[in-house]
Every structure is written in C-alpha cells, then in structure tokens.
Amino acid sequence: MHDKAESGLLVRFLEISRHTQVNPEMTVEPPPGSMLITWSSAEDVEAELYLDSEWATTYTKFVADFAEKGAWQQKLSLKYIRKQVNQQLGEVLHLENPTEEIIVLGFHTLIKAFDAYNTSLDVYTPLTGITMEMDTLDFGEVTLINMKSYAYADFEARIQSLTANIQPDDFRQTMVNWMTRNIRDTVCARFTAVADSEQAQLFAESATKRAVDVLRFTAALLYPRQLKLRIGLAGEVQPAGYRETIILPTHEGSFHWHGKAVGAPVMLSITSTLLEDLKRRGIIAVLDILRKPTKTEFDNALLAGIHMFANTQNETDPIYELLNLIMCLEIFFTRKDGGVISQTITEGVAFLLGKDLEARKFIKNSVTKLYKKRSTVTHGSTSVDVTDSDVELLYSITRDLLLTLIQRHTEFQTKEDLSNWIEDRKLS
C-alpha cells in the first residue's frame, strides 16, 4: 500500500474509532439504524460495539477502500477483512481510555496481518455427468479426483482428523457423514488457494466452471448435439431422468399416460484413451492456457468462446441455442469499436473452415442465413422459424471453428491478428 493511501486510511480509522460506541454489558439499546459489531476477546470477554447510521455508512466505505487499496482481494474477501477490522476495533476500544498510539498500532497490526496472510486451503467441488478411470488428473487449474478410489479414504481421513475434538463421538461421525454425503462416489474438482474460505470458494467455483467448459466441449466432439450430456457442478445441472405426463379427458373418454426420457442417458467417461484423443486433436492446449498466469487477448477470447459454446448444451429452446452460438462466433470477429459486421463473421468463418471455394461459399451462405434469423429474433420478432436443423448446422460450424482456433491459437496474440490473417487470405 502506498504511504499516501495508508495515511489517508489511518486518519479515517482514527475517526471511526472515536465515533464507535462500546456497549460492554450489551444492555444499552443502540439508536435506530446503528451498525452493531459483536466482538469477543481471546479471554472470551464479549462486548458489543455500535456506530450510528451516519458513521455506519462511513465505516462500510472505509472497509471497502481498505481492501481495495491494500490489494488483498486476491486472497481475502471483504467479509473476512470486515471481521478482522471489527476485531481490531474491539481489541483497542475495550481498553479504558485507549490512546491514539494504541489505535494507530492496531491499524498497522491489521495491515501486517493481511500482508502476511498465507493460509492455503483445498476446496473440493463435486461434479456431475462424468466418470473417471484414473485416481487423479490435473485438468487446467484444478485436479480432478475420483472419490471412489483411495483418494476418498485420504479425504475422509483429513476430515476425521480435523473434527477429532468434537464430542460425543457418535455426533461427530454423524456430522462427518452428513458433510461428505455429496462427495463420496463422485468426481471432484480440487482447487488450492492461499485465501480465506469465502474467497477460496469463489476462486474454486470459477476455476472449476472453466474446467467444466472444456469437458462440455470434449463431449461435443464425441457425442451428437441432441444427447446433451449434463456435465457441471453438482446441483447446477439437471441429471438425466424420466418425465411422466398424465392426460385426462375433460369430459368423457379414456385417459393417457406418456413417459419420456429427459437428459443424457450417458456420462462423459475420462479414460487414458480419451486423453490421448484430446492430445491428438490439440484440446490439451486449452488446459495449458488455463494454467497460464498471463493470458493474451486471443487466449481470453478463446476461453470466452468455449464458455459460450459450452453453455449452449444447457439450452433446450432452439432460439436460445442459436443466439448463444452466434454470440460465440461474434466473440472472435468484433471490431475495435465494439461493433460487429455480419459480413466479417460470415467471411471469417468461411476462410477458417472452408477447404476450397465451394466449401467457403456454402459456409458463408449458411452463416449469413442463420445470422439473419438471429437479427430477426433480437429485434423482437416472434414469427421467426428457427428449426432444429438450423441449430444443428450452426452447432457443427461453431464447434469446428473453435476446434480450428484451438489448434492454431499459437498463431494469434490478438483478435486483430486473426482479422489480419483473414484479410491476407482474401487477397491471396
């Protein structure tokens, strides 16, 4: 933190300290609109602090600025920082007539503690829609863990060790069983972060969702679009099932029963053979991109395109499938001013995928027709007819475009590089 920023925050911390009221016995009713801060000391001395409504707003803004200027957001959540500030206020204000020097010392103690924070946490996120033959697999920013293997025994042993002091033992075991009920027999994504628990959870979910994007793209290469494998974080996607509908006559007649399988009847199976296939196709390169600490503009565009395409697999309405797929194409062909020209998209896709003139003409004409349907939908028309064959064609074109760009991603650092490459092809 810069000295000027630190000095300004210190002044505000001192002002807040002077306006924080102490309610040691928690017997006084704070004024309406006050912010309450409950504090417990290491000696289990409890006290309640409160700020009136005006200073409560000032305090909230101070905590947000403190977090931002300290640049701790990569490891500490606002909730954690606020809790520690509350604790420090309690530590100094429960003293009788604390001096300014003590309050200043408390402020600098906070900064040192936040700077030195180095607690590493492992976050386990259960997944659905996949199986895995190996015990563990490094997959981008996460490690996939087969919780049917010895890895689960190690995981449970860690839980047992961390809860060993909880008594009685039968209650502890019931709690452990409840905590692990959705982990056992699944594939989990483990993400390790130096962060507090709330921030680690957010980082883990983001990293796991990026891994899921790659898994969904993998499924798109192996299975037909209609199968729609339900791959995702547990609880966020609907697993395969069976829908039953009862049809009764309004007046007279017979009744009908209708049953329909919904969702994919298969799961993506991660095997050594599949991994070899991904290496051959170049998909492993995406996992390398995910691990890169600094990504190029084109890297980010590629990840965004894969994410948009992956989300299409959760759509059931052909119109929304078409919109998602068109937006995926737009990611790569937007102009510098943020605009996009349909001709830029259609020609860009045609030159990247077409092997000869006839193939390029077919691709350009197809994408042009589909883009017109997209424009009709986004301008509010309800009469546009988006057929399943429309979506099937656009799905295959978008999937093949992504695969081509993945395989050639080292040729481009920016989207402008891609644009220049297309222009060169036009003039060659």
Section 229-249 average pLDDT? 83
pLDDT at 340 over 80: no
Alpha-carbon distance of 112 to 121, in angstroms, equals 20
Percent of the chain's residues with pLDDT above 70: 93
361 to 231, 333, 423: CA distances (angstroms): 35, 18, 16
Secondary structure in 3-state letters for the chain: CCHHHHHHHHHHHHHHHHHCEEECCCCCCCCCCCEEEEEECCCCCEEEEEECHHHHHHHHHHHHHHHHHHCCCCCCCHHHHHHHHHHHHHHHHCCCCCCHHHHHHHHHHHHHHHHHCCCEEEEEEEEECEEECCCEEEECCEEEEECCCHHHHHHHHHHHHHCCCCCCHHHHHHHHHHHCCCCCCCEEEEEEEECCHHHHHHHHHHHHHHHHHHHHHHHHHHCCHHHCCCCEECCCCCCCEEEEEEECCCCCCCCEEEEEEECCCCCEEECHHHHHHHHHHCCHHHHHHHHCCCCCHHHHHHHHHHHHHHHHCCCCCHHHHHHHHHHHHHHHHECCCCCECHHHHHHHHHHHHCCCHHHHHHHHHHHHHHHHHHHHHHCCCCCCCCCHHHHHHHHHHHHHHHHHHHHCHHHCCCHHHHHHHHHHHHHC
Q: What would the pLDDT profile of 204-233 be if each residue is shown by its tens digit?
A: 999 999 999 999 999 999 998 888 788 999
Section 341-364 average pLDDT? 92
Whole-number pLDDT of residue 337: 61
Whole-number pLDDT of residue 187: 95
What predicted TM-score, i.e. pTM, was given to this entire model? Answer: 0.87
| Tokens found for residue 102 | 């003590």
Section 181-196 average pLDDT? 93
Whole-number pLDDT of residue 181: 87
Question: Which one of 85-89, 129-133, 252-256, 261-265 scores highest in mean pLDDT?
Answer: 129-133
pLDDT at 24 over 70: no
| HSE-CB for 236 with a 13 A CA cutoff | 14
* Least confident stretch, 50-54, 212-216, 269-273: 50-54
Letter string b/e over residues 319-353, b meaning 16 or more CB atoms within 10 A of that residue's CB: bbbbbbbbbbbbbbbbeeeeebebebbbbbbbbbb
Domain boundaries, the chain: 3-116, 120-233, 294-427
- Kindly report the number of other CB atoms within 10 A of residue 98's CB atom: 15
- What mean pLDDT is reported for the chain? 88
pLDDT at 13 over 60: yes
Tell me the pLDDT band of 97, cut-offs 50, 70 and 90: confident
Tell me the pLDDT band of 188, cut-offs 50, 70 and 90: very high
Letter string b/e over residues 397-422, b meaning 16 or more CB atoms within 10 A of that residue's CB: bbbebbbebbeebeebeebeebbeeb
- Kindly report the number of other CB atoms within 10 A of residue 197's CB atom: 13
Whole-number pLDDT of residue 241: 73
Section 321-327 average pLDDT? 94
Alpha-carbon distance of 386 to 402, in angstroms, equals 23
Whole-number pLDDT of residue 39: 67
* Least confident stretch, 11-15, 101-105, 240-244, 342-346: 240-244
Percent of the chain's residues with pLDDT above 90: 56
| Tokens found for residue 211 | 């891994």
Q: What would the pLDDT profile of 288-306 be if each residue is shown by its tens digit?
A: 999 999 999 999 999 999 9
Q: What would the pLDDT profile of 160-173 be if each residue is shown by its tens digit?
A: 888 899 999 999 89
Alpha-carbon distance of 210 to 231, in angstroms, equals 12
Section 382-388 average pLDDT? 82
Alpha-carbon distance of 299 to 43, in angstroms, equals 52
pLDDT at 339 over 60: no
Alpha-carbon distance of 52 to 293, in angstroms, equals 44
